[in-house]
């Protein structure tokens, strides 16, 4: 029987480092599926070897080396039967002679993101592929985030992997000259990774801290690489949202809405860093949607209490953001801000207009907003109907319990 402590250590390393290990194996082996197979083989071997020999000083490097040799073994077996034997032999020789350092691992996930977001790949495949390979989200979790069928997402991922292999898309960070045109899709991917961590689409917990932490780390790496205003804006936005993490749930894991959060639990260091990045980004005069969203988050962060929030300034920022990036989700957020400035009826009119034209019908937060405005206006049955629709669309357990409590409280 494997030692429980060793098994637990292997599981811990998998949780914390499997995506870094996979990214490095993809670089070394040049094949997504082979790298994933080799990584899982390495973890399987680790359970037995670490039990016998002890946990190595650098588990990540041990797993990369073991996975690399497992991948080489697979290629050797293929070379015995493949018609393209000379090519495989050349690939094997290159792999066996290649040097690698554990220091390279830290940059491999950034290389992997740029590979997954390569312009040769279909736009609708870039984000799902990155979320699957970089962040280990399941196909089902990605499908929920995109309001798509799991089979559709799976097909996009398979096609993208084949394109990378067949087109020999390089596994590298673009040159400085290429970076700006490649930046938008990378920023979008990092923010989606963060959002899945900040507000998990499914599961028993509100947040997945490892994803928010990884998205912020990737944002910092990207800022070192390309100190542009929108990179600053995205990093600021993530820091300002992440600063509220400890206040977003109660001790027993229940959801706490923004107005009711204990602001003394907000991370002052993250807020200071985020606000400084917002100022630096806005001072360039070249700012886009991430800078504007970060500016909105900064207004919230700087308010000593919920009642002292400058809703007029927030509405003004949403006006600019909506003009720059027309989006029903931004409209919804603007409606929520207007309701705080002008009252729940003003918010309800705007949300009803969004839903009546067919937008956000499957977005639970739109129905939750409508329910909340109706509740504040005393429209009990309308509120109940909207809350029940939101509940149907919600997969996260704390959110479900929050909505159920709202329904029970309706008089």
How many percent of the chain have pLDDT more than 70? 90
Tell me the CATH number for domain 310-411: 1.25.40.10
Length of the chain, in residues: 411
Mean of pLDDT values over 10-27? 90
| pLDDT(105) > 70 | no
The predicted pLDDT at position 140 comes to: 87
pLDDT digits (tens, 9 = 90+) for 55-85: 999 999 999 989 988 888 887 777 666 555 5
For the ranges 176-190, 260-274, 346-360, the lowest mean pLDDT is seen at: 176-190
Place of tokens 């398979």: 158
The predicted pLDDT at position 1 comes to: 45
| pLDDT(4) > 60 | yes
The predicted pLDDT at position 145 comes to: 64
Q: If we measure between CA atoms, which residue out of 308, 341, 202 comes closest to residue 211?
A: 202
In order of 149, 294, 325, the CA distances from 289 in angstroms are 28, 8, 7
DSSP 304: S
Pull the structure tokens for residue 196: 């899945």
The predicted pLDDT at position 301 comes to: 96
Q: 18 near 136, Cβ under 8 Å? A: yes
Pull the structure tokens for residue 362: 């499957």
pLDDT digits (tens, 9 = 90+) for 82-101: 555 555 555 555 555 555 55
In order of 26, 69, 77, 168, 253, the CA distances from 88 in angstroms are 16, 15, 10, 15, 52
Judge residue 409's burial from the number of C-beta atoms within 10 Å of its C-beta, 0-12 exposed, 13-18 middle, 19 or more buried: exposed
Sign of torsion over alpha carbons 392, 257, 406, 205: positive
Sign of torsion over alpha carbons 241, 243, 245, 247: negative
- Please, which contacts does 263-272 make with residues 24 or more away whose CB atoms are closer than 8 Å? 263/304, 263/305, 266/301, 267/242, 267/243, 268/243, 270/239, 270/240, 270/242, 270/243, 271/239, 271/240, 271/243, 271/301, 271/302
In order of 113, 127, 130, the CA distances from 156 in angstroms are 16, 10, 11
Q: What are the residue boundaries of the structural domains of the chain, listed by start?
A: 1-100, 310-411
* CA–CA gap between residue 318 and residue 197 (Å, rounded): 24
For the ranges 84-98, 247-261, 280-294, the lowest mean pLDDT is seen at: 84-98
According to the 3-state scheme, what is the secondary structure of 347-373? HHHHHHHHHHCCCCCCCHHHHHHHHHH
Please give the mean pLDDT across all residues of the chain: 87
Place of tokens 């590298």: 172
Instruction: Using pLDDT thresholds of 50, 70 and 90, give the confidence band for residue 263.
Output: very high
Report DSSP letters for 223-236, one per residue.
HHH---HHHHHHHH
Q: 362 near 393, Cβ under 8 Å? A: yes
Top-confidence residue, 384 or 173: 384
* CA–CA gap between residue 356 and residue 350 (Å, rounded): 10
| Side-chain half-sphere CA neighbours of 181 within 13 A | 7
Place of tokens 């670089």: 27
For the ranges 15-24, 64-73, 90-99, 373-382, the lowest mean pLDDT is seen at: 90-99
The predicted pLDDT at position 94 comes to: 56
- The rounded Cα 174 to chain-centroid distance in angstroms is 22
pLDDT digits (tens, 9 = 90+) for 265-277: 999 999 999 999 9
Contacts of residue 175, Cβ cutoff 8 Å, sequence gap at least 6 = none
Contacts of residue 370, Cβ cutoff 8 Å, sequence gap at least 6 = 348, 351, 352, 355, 382, 386
């Amino acid at each position: 029987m494997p030692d429980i402590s060793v098994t637990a250590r292997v599981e811990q390393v998998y949780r914390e480092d499997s995506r870094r290990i996979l990214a490095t194996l993809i670089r070394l082996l040049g094949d997504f599926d082979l790298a994933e197979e080799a990584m899982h083989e390495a973890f399987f071997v680790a359970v037995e070897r670490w039990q016998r020999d002890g946990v190595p000083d650098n588990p990540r490097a041990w797993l990369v080396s073991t996975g690399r040799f497992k991948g080489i073994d697979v290629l050797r077996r293929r070379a015995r039967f493949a018609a393209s034997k000379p090519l495989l032999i050349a690939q094997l020789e290159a792999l066996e002679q290649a040097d690698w350092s554990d220091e390279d691992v830290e940059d491999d996930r950034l290389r992997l993101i740029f590979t997954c977001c390569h312009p040769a790949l279909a736009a609708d495949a870039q984000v799902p592929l990155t979320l699957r390979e970089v962040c280990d989200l399941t196909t089902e979790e990605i499908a929920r985030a995109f309001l798509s069928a799991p089979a559709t997402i799976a097909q996009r991922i398979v096609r993208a992997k084949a394109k990378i292999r067949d087109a020999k898309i390089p596994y590298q960070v673009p040159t400085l000259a290429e970076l700006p045109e490649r930046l938008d899709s990378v920023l979008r991917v990092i923010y989606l990774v963060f959002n899945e961590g900040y507000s998990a689409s499914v599961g028993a917990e509100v947040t997945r801290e490892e994803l928010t932490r990884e998205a912020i780390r990737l944002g910092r790496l990207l800022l070192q690489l390309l100190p542009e205003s929108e990179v600053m804006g995205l990093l600021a936005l993530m820091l300002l949202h992440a600063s509220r993490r400890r206040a977003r749930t109660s001790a027993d894991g229940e959801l706490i809405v923004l107005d009711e959060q204990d602001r003394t639990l907000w991370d002052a260091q993250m807020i200071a860093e985020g606000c400084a990045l917002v100022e630096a980004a806005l001072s360039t005069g070249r700012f886009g949607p991430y800078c504007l969203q970060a500016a909105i988050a900064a207004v919230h962060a700087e308010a000593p209490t919920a009642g002292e929030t400058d809703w007029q300034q927030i509405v003004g920022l949403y006006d600019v953001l909506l003009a720059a990036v027309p989006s029903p989700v931004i409209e919804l957020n603007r409606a929520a801000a207007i309701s705080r400035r002008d009252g729940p009826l003003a918010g309800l009119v705007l949300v009803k207009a969004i839903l009546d034209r067919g937008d956000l019908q499957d977005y639970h937060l739109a129905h939750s907003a409508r329910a909340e405005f109706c509740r504040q206006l005393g429209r009990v049955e309308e509120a109940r109907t909207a809350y029940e629709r939101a509940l149907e669309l919600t997969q996260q357990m704390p959110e479900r319990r929050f909505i159920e409590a709202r329904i029970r409280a309706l008089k």
